[in-house]
Amino acid sequence: MRASVHCPTIEHFLKKGMRSSYVARTHGISDSTVRNVSAALKKYGSSSERLKTELPRTVNTRRIRRMIKRRNDRLSLNKVAGELKIGGRTVQRIVKDALKLNSYKLVCGQYLSNASKANGVDKAKNSWPTSECGGSQT
| Cβ–Cβ under 8 Å, residues 32 and 62 | no
The CB-based long-range contact list for 72-75 (8 Å cut-off, 24+ gap) reads 73/105, 73/106, 74/105, 74/106
- For the chain, what is the mean pLDDT? 83
Q: What is the per-residue DSSP string for 56-114?
A: ------HHHHHHHHTS-TTS-HHHHHHHHTS-HHHHHHIIIIIS----------PPPPH
Cβ(95)–Cβ(103) under 8 Å?
Answer: yes
CA nearest 38: which of 12, 11, 63, 16?
Answer: 11
Q: pLDDT band at residue 40, thresholds of 50, 70 and 90?
A: confident
pLDDT in tens, 92-135: 999 999 999 886 666 777 788 899 889 988 988 888 766 655 55
Residue pair 14/38 in contact (Cβ under 8 Å)? The answer is yes
Half-sphere exposure of 25 (CA within 13 A, CB side): 5
pLDDT over 90 for what percent of the chain? 20
pTM of the model: 0.40
Instruction: Over range 9-26, report the average pLDDT.
Output: 88
Domain map of the chain by residue range? 7-44, 53-108
